[in-house]
Amino acid sequence: MKEAELNRIRADFPNLGCQVHGHPLAYLDNAATTMKPRQVIEAITNHYRAETANVHRGLHHLSVLATKKYEGAREKVVRFINAGSEQEIIFTRGTTEAINLAASSYGGHLLKPGDEILVSQMEHHSNIVPWQLVCQSRGLRLKVIPMDESGQLRLDRFRELLTERVRLVALVYTSNALGTINPVEQIIEEAHGMGAVVLLDAAQTIAHLEVDVQELDCDFLAFSGHKMFGPTGIGVLYGKENLLEQMPPYQGGGEMISQVTFAKTTYNALPYKFEAGTPPIAQAIGLGAAIDYIESIGFAQISEHEELLRVHASAQLARIPGLRIIGTAARKAAICAFSLEEIHPHDLGTFLDQRGIAVRTGHHCAQPVLDFFGLPATTRASFSVYNSLQEVDLLAAAIEEARSFFL
C-alpha cells in the first residue's frame, strides 16, 4: 500500500492519534478488537442524535426511519457474506452469543444422545464451552481434532474422527492464538460427505478475507462487529434457512412472537424468531457502516497490506535471540504470537505499553492451545490494514530493549 493511502486510512481512526505514556500509540491488538473509523462513530452518533426510536411496530416517522436503517444493516450483511436472504441473518451480541444460540437451539434440540461433535484443539473458549454444555445436557460426545507443532490441524486425525456418529463440526476459520487459517473448504466438503453440519467461527477472518457462505457451503457462520471496525455489542449468526426453520427459539419475549395467549405462543418468522426483545439498533447501524468502510478499501488491498505486515513482523521477530514464534502454519493471518526466553509475557506487555505499543498477553481465551505448547501465556501482536511497517520496527526494537532490561 502506498504511504499516502495508508495515511488516508489512518486519518479515519481518531484513536490512532493518541499519545500513550508520552509516545504515539502503536496499536497492535487488533485480534482483541479493532479501532473504529469516524464513519462508524458518526453513523452511531447520528442515530442517537437524529433518529432514536424503537424499530418495527412503530408507525411514527422516527420508528420507520430507525427500522429502515436497522434492516438496511441486515441487507448489507447479506451482501457482505453472500447469504441467500435476510432470513438467514440473525443479529446477536457477538460471536460468543451466536455460537451459544446455535449450540442451544440446534445442538440442544436437534442432536440426539450418542451423537458426536467435533471441535479443534485451537478453538477459542467460546467455541468449546457451549458445546461442552450441550453435550452434558443431551448426552452427546465432544471430540477434538488435534494439531501439530506448527499449529496446523492434523487432517489425517480429522478423517479418523469423522465417523457417521459425528453430526456437527464446530471449527475456527482463523485461530486467534496462532493466526492459522484453516482449510475450511476441504473440511466442510468432507464433513458434509458424512452427513454432518458445519459451524465456522469467523471472528478473526471477517475483516481480513472475503467470506462467501454460499461458496464455502457452511451451515452456520458466526462473527462479531467489534473485530471488523464496528461497535461492541453486535454480532451475526448466519444459518441456512432450512436449518433455522427447524430450530426452536433461543430466548423468549417481544419481537420473537407472532401471537401470545396464556395457553399458547406462536413464533415470528425468520429472522425475528431468534431476536427477542429490543434489538441492538445503534450497534447494527454501526455494523452496517463498518461493512461500508471495509468495502470502500476492498479485500484485495486489505489482504495485500496485512500479508506485508505479517511477513515483515515474522522476519523481524525471528532475528531476536531467545524469541520463539508460536504458530508457524503455512497459511497464516497477520497475527504473531511469541514467547521470549524467561521474560513473562505480562512483564513484556507492560514494558511495551510504557513505550506506547499495545499488544495482548495471556492465554487469549484459548487455554488448550497454550497447554499444547507448554506455555502459561504468550505475547501476541496482531495487525490490521491501518498498521505500518514502522510500527512493526518499533515493536521489534522495543522487544530488544526489553531483553536488555530484564536479562
Range 179-189 average pLDDT: 98
DSSP-assigned letter for residue 197: E
Domain boundaries, the chain: 3-29+298-406, 51-295
Per-residue burial over 170-179, b = 16 or more CB atoms within 10 Å of its CB, e = otherwise: bbbbbbbbbb
Residue 165 binned pLDDT confidence (cut-offs 50, 70, 90)? very high
> Does position 369 have pLDDT exceeding 90, yes or no?
yes
Q: How many angstroms separate the CA atoms of 51 and 386, rounded?
A: 31
- Non-local (6+) Cβ contacts of 34 within 8 A are 207, 226, 227, 228, 229, 384
3.40.50.2300, 3.30.365.10, 3.90.1150.10, 3.40.50.620: CATH of 3-29+298-406: 3.90.1150.10
Mean pLDDT value across the chain = 96
The helix or strand, by DSSP H or E, that contains position 68, with its residue range, turns out to be helix 61-81
- What string of H, E and C letters represents the secondary structure of 41-62? HHHHHHHHHHCCCCCCCCCCHH
> Does position 169 have pLDDT exceeding 90, yes or no?
yes
- The answer to which of 209-223, 268-282, 284-298 has the lowest mean pLDDT is 268-282
Q: What is the DSSP string of 95-146?
A: HHHHHHHIIIIIIHHHS-TT-EEEEETT--GGGTHHHHHHHHHHT-EEEEE-
3.40.640.10, 3.30.420.40, 3.90.1170.50, 3.20.20.60: CATH of 51-295: 3.40.640.10
Range 371-382 average pLDDT: 97
State how far the alpha carbon of 99 is from the alpha carbons of 106, 129, 192, in Å.
10, 10, 19
Range 206-215 average pLDDT: 98
Model pTM above 0.85: yes
Q: How many angstroms separate the CA atoms of 327 and 175, rounded?
A: 9
Rounded to a whole number, what is the distance in angstroms from the first to the last CA of the chain?
A: 37
Q: How many angstroms separate the CA atoms of 398 and 350, rounded?
A: 11
Q: Cell numbers at residue 116, please?
A: 458426536
- Judged by DSSP in three states, 91 sits in strand
> Does position 1 have pLDDT exceeding 90, yes or no?
no
**Which member of 18, 218, 336, 365 is catalytic?**
365
Query: Has 336 been annotated as catalytic?
Result: no
